[in-house]
Structure 1
Amino acid sequence: MLKLDKIDTFYGESQALFKVSLQVKEAEVVTLLGRNGMGKSTTIRSIMGLTPIRHGQISFAEKLIHTLPSYSIARLGLGLVPEGRQIFPNLTVRENLIATASNFTGSATPYTTDDIFTIFPRLKDRLNNFGNQLSGGEQQMLAVGRALMINPRLLILDEATEGLAPLVRREIWRGLAILKSKGLAILIIDKNLKALMNIAEHHYIMEKGQIVWDGTTAELQSLPDLQSRYLGV
């Protein structure tokens, strides 16, 4: 579904990504792992056209997308939950969900607000609250719900549960498990390795702007030294 082929990304003259290649298949959950500052968010920004690549190719559903503007990439079916959530603080929960709702992908069963409330029941209780009246966890649920309202074929989460309380994290992971059961492809950045290995099939590890390892959950579980080397604090 999504394929990055040896992409290089720069900020000015400073190179941030070096020949990064990865792929996400239909209905697959994939993680992008690594310590802070290793290029994970830049990879996501490159996919979404927010930080254009200088070399290489990015394709989605066999269509080259690296030359497209961000809004065109989103309309193809890439839903982004950005780091920092970036919900609209002066809109209510309901308004945040419907503000950008669309069905450019032509889904036969497009998401409704009721579908979002089934996945994240807490949001229904906060329906008329403004974005700036929500807790961090509620804002993250809303950010996921907003991304789902464009009916994506691939959901991308940059720091899915960073800074959230354990109880709220469990609600986020439960919601993502529901989406996985529905066959939605997901690309996740997060630091909660145990939760990631419970939900994902394939993992990529980044170090200094490069992919230094990739493999299955079983392979990653069998390599504690690798986890310590690239993911330990």
Structure 2
Amino acid sequence: MIFDAATHEQAAEIVGRYPQQRSALLPLLHLVQAVEGCVTADGISFCATTLGLTGAEVEAVATFYTMYKRTPCGEHLVSVCTNALCAALGGDDIFARLSAKLGIGHEGTAGTPGQPGSITLESAECLAACDHAPVVTVNYEFYDQQTLDSAEEIVDELQAGRRPEPTRGALLTDFRTTSREIAGIYGDLAGTVDTPTASPETLRGNVIAEDLRQTAPAMPESYEMPPLPEKK
């Protein structure tokens, strides 16, 4: 795939944020994923050429992180946490229900990738929301304390072309838009994030600490970040 001028401009904007251009690799991979729907060989080459890296260096990163998909993703990525706590509270059963409903397994896609209503399903190792278990995310937006029926209802809504409101966090978009936002390329950022993000469960530790008058040590006013090592 030949990346257009707009993609090159966005890539240059991303690279310009970093004192060492190779540090832009992670967001740049999200950018090509936003364009292609996954990270292809062309995307690997684009990142390598842009950053002056070898294809092997880029490939090593792209295959290490699970957020980079190597096959075309659906319009929506549905992730079901099946780590210990979520699994014990129903995560495994939710994944099994959705897998049977969609007729696909882990990282399978129901429908034509990228087309409206298509869904890629994955069993996620951890979604970092144990206080809301069992958790499902759609394009990394949270749907907390799910049941078999509520998780199935989310999928029904997505397949019908609707976007159910997440429990907290930004409004739901699609997988490619989310990848672009993770890369640091935004549309209406203020409007997107003007939604609830915290919850009583998440803030419970703060409340207990306040009740017990516990505080963390303050950062020294004279603290300075250590200098970056010189590039050899």
TM-score of the alignment, normalized to the shorter chain, above 0.5 = no
TM-score of the superposition, structure 2-length normalised? Answer: 0.32
TM-score of the superposition, structure 1-length normalised? Answer: 0.32
Richer in strand (by share): 1
Richer in helix (by share): 2
